[in-house]
Chains A and B, each alone.
Chain A
Amino acid sequence: NAGVTQTPKFRVLKTGQSMTLLCAQDMNHEYMYWYRQDPGMGLRLIHYSVGEGTTAKGEVPDGYNVSRLKKQNFLLGLESAAPSQTSVYFCACRRPSVYEQYFGPGTRLTVT
């Protein structure tokens, strides 16, 4: 029972390159979230999903796209990476009836 896993753990991109971050959960939770964590800013919501096939924008969605084709997976895409997207990205999931979020270990992304 792995909980929430994120792939990759680290990545360095050049400006303009694209990549996809994968979040996978084996907890059978409906809701999934993508956050970014920056020093002195806490965690900020990028996109979220309330179920398979549905996604919605959070506080800071610009420059990111997401997809939830399967209930257990939530993908975060960067089409054209910018240095401002250098951050640590966390995925989380939770059940509708329970407020507790379960976080993955994070992906540290550097854009040069």
Chain B
Amino acid sequence: QQQVKQSPQSLIVQKGGIPIINCAYENTAFDYFPWYQQFPGKGPALLIAIRPDVSEKKEGRFTISFNKSAKQFSLHIMDSQPGDSATYFCAASINSGYNFNKFYFGSGTKLNVKP
């Protein structure tokens, strides 16, 4: 059973559009929600992250919206560029004891931004 459900699987937008990727979770013990960006042949890299006591976080053109009551969070990319074409993963972290956190990842969204 997947702990974090991500949609859509793929997304195509025109340059300048605002792609939105959604994630949902069930476990209310999750305490940190990062988004990772992955280019082909590379490892994931942290893009932006949020904690559940905050409803929105912006970093440059990337925004996370967080709805604690609905147990959902989403990534918005403002003024998207062809260079944003990548696979995006949401994740959720839970403390597993000894101050160690496990991370559960969504299934990924492949974004294609057309010029």
Contact = CB atoms under 8 A, between A and B. Distances in A.
A106 B45 CA distance: 12
B95 to A, nearest CB: 10
A45 B100 contact: no
Interface string B42-72: 1111100100000000000000000000000
B6 A42 contact: yes
Contacts, number: 54
Interface of A: 4, 31, 33, 35, 40-45, 48, 50, 58, 90, 92, 96, 99-101, 103-106
Nearest to B98: A50
B19 interface: no
A58 B102 contact: yes
Nearest to B90: A42
Contact of A43 (B99, B101, B105): B105
Given A41-B107, A45-B103, A90-B43, A99 B32 contact: yes
User: Which 4 residue pairs are nearest across A and B when measured between Cβ atoms?
Assistant: A103-B43, A42-B105, A43-B105, A42-B107
